[in-house]
A and B are shown apart, each in its own frame.
Chain A
Amino acid sequence: MAYSDKVIEHYENPRNVGTLDKNDDAVGTGLVGAPACGDVMRLQIKVSDEGVIEDAKFKTFGCGSAIASSSLATEWLKGKNIDEAETIKNSMIAEELNLPPVKIHCSVLAEDAIKSAIADYRRKRAEKKALQGG
């Protein structure tokens, strides 16, 4: 299958590969997918007190389109506040990377990873507040 130039570019020069400390209160981690399905994405965000995503990192087990989708997602997340970040849709990723129909699930997985990371961050914050409140 022929990949789009944008997929190849992200695949060959992936942005923001790495790991943030998942125990840090400011870090939200999303781990989605399954090894048996051939793709697993881990996406992490570090959020400032003002709710702005200061850093984003990913690691992905999956095909070139999955790696490119997660790389693009981290690029888009950086600098956004988390409410804005939540509006990122898989269709936007698929369109930006010119994903063919059989690869749309890669962009869906990236959206799931973003949502999951944000949810993890919010859960941690709520727990922290509850602790401080108590």
Chain B
Amino acid sequence: MAIKLPIYMDYHATTPVDRRVIDEMLPFFTDVFGNAASRNHAFGWRAEEAVEHARERVAALVGAESPKEIVFTSGATESNNLAIKGAADFYRDKGNHIITTVIEHKAVLDTCKRLEKEGFQVTYLPVDAHGRVSAEAVEQAITDRTILVSVMLANNEVGTVQPIEEIGKITRARGVLFHSDGVQAVGKIPFDVVKASVDLLSITAHKMYGPKGVGALYVRRSRPRVRLVAQMDGGGHERGNRSGTLNVPGIVGLGKAAEIMRQEGLAEGERLLALRERLWKKLNAAIDDIHLNGHPEHRLPGNLNVAFAYVEGEAMMMAIKDVAVSSGSACTSASLEPSYVLRSMGVGEEMAHSSIRFGLGRFTTEEEVDFVADLVIEKVNKLRAMSPLYEMVKEGIDLKTIEWAAH
């Protein structure tokens, strides 16, 4: 069968909506269009019923003890903001210290920076060469002023899975709330909020084959009961945690996507792991000076992040333009700084510029993996034939001995 181009290998950025999800959503745009907050007629009741069904499905996916612990939001950015700012506002009399990591998503990092301006102290924990934070470092950073620890379940760039259960044991023992940004990992790796002692968990639909613009925040209701200050004023929806008319079709989609993930996610993960290993083995066998970014084992099944030395990432993406991937080089951004995640793992700037992230997902096929592997091998060779660095290295010149003019 001929390969259909372009090929999508950027599942960390977003995912297509599963047909089964769309089918459940569609009636809620037309026939069942009621406002879930309309308590006095059948249109409202049916919408509310659908929302509550979705809430149960999301609760089941994350392992919540009650559907009441699920607050629907517009997506993970809002969930992260609500979790961190909401907890900081509520518990500010108890303390003003927050602990997070340097590799969090901007929705967490910039939220923490905002809180710093308001007088909170934030500790940004470093990660090791594989992109992992240590539970001991979390423990050592906790003071009697610490109210919240926020560590992502898995990183979006390098796929490194964090030691969430170990951290959860520590935060629980020390009486500190624990938030995790679970966007990339929930449903894809074994995880539940009870086992991991997570008190707040952010998820979004569009990273798990649901629609964009809808997400959820898990907010623990017992042992401990977590309280948040709402960040938007309005009608007091979602038990006062998040005002705004509920996005019923979106929430129905999130519910269905969560249901599919709960049933199929782990088996899908095994399939993706095999495909990812296939891609890595092919590339590694054919290309010299290639490096795996991230952890070899504690890693999202669909993530492969590779540095092709002496080849610049953006040129690489242009060379494989029929394949949608993402680069650690940020040459297109105004800052021209390469990925802060790779840099904080100690990956050199030149290697960060040479890094490509392949994100495999539900609709990735073995044929696509083989096609991409062959194409990447061909283009790396082509670009290296054009690379003065590769030529110099082959001549035996140590690039570190050259006085480069930074520009």
Q: How far is the CA of A8 from the CA of B338 in the complex (A)?
A: 23
Tally chain B residues at the interface, Cβ within 8 Å: 31
Q: How far is the CA of A73 from the CA of B32 in the complex (A)?
A: 63
The answer to whether B331 and A17 have CB atoms under 8 Å apart is: no
**In the complex, which residues 77-93 of chain A have their Cβ closer than 8 Å to any Cβ of chain B?**
none
Q: Inside 8 A of A19's CB, which chain B residues have their CB? A: 391
Q: Inside 8 A of A42's CB, which chain B residues have their CB? A: 388
- Given A1-B332, A59-B386, does the pair A35, B405 have CB atoms closer than 8 Å? no
Residue of B nearest to A11 (CB): B318
A27 at the interface (CB under 8 A from B): no
Q: How far is the CA of A38 from the CA of B333 in the complex (A)?
A: 13
A76 at the interface (CB under 8 A from B): no
A5 to chain B, nearest CB (A): 13
B339 to chain A, nearest CB (A): 11
Contact bitstring B379-395, A, C-beta under 8 A = 1, else 0: 00000011111110000
A119 to chain B, nearest CB (A): 13
Q: Inside 8 A of B41's CB, which chain A residues have their CB? A: none
B51 to chain A, nearest CB (A): 40
Q: Inside 8 A of A110's CB, which chain B residues have their CB? A: none
The answer to whether A37 and B349 have CB atoms under 8 Å apart is: yes
The answer to whether A64 and B332 have CB atoms under 8 Å apart is: no
**In the complex, which residues 43-81 of chain A have their Cβ closer than 8 Å to any Cβ of chain B?**
59-64, 66-67
A110 to chain B, nearest CB (A): 12
The answer to whether B386 and A63 have CB atoms under 8 Å apart is: no
The answer to whether A38 and B391 have CB atoms under 8 Å apart is: no
Contact bitstring B331-358, A, C-beta under 8 A = 1, else 0: 1111010100000000011100100000
Residue of B nearest to A108 (CB): B407
A40 at the interface (CB under 8 A from B): yes
The answer to whether A33 and B315 have CB atoms under 8 Å apart is: no
The answer to whether A60 and B407 have CB atoms under 8 Å apart is: no
Q: Inside 8 A of B389's CB, which chain A residues have their CB? A: 35, 40, 61
Q: Inside 8 A of A1's CB, which chain B residues have their CB? A: 332
B residues within 8 Å of A by Cβ? 310-315, 318, 329, 331-334, 336, 338, 348-350, 353, 385-391, 399, 402, 404-407
Closest 7 CB pairs of A and B: A34-B404, A35-B350, A36-B349, A42-B388, A38-B353, A63-B314, A59-B388
18 contacting pairs across A/B (C-beta < 8 A): A11-B318, A17-B385, A17-B386, A19-B391, A31-B388, A33-B405, A35-B349, A35-B350, A37-B349, A37-B407, A38-B329, A60-B388, A61-B311, A61-B312, A63-B312, A63-B315, A63-B331, A64-B318
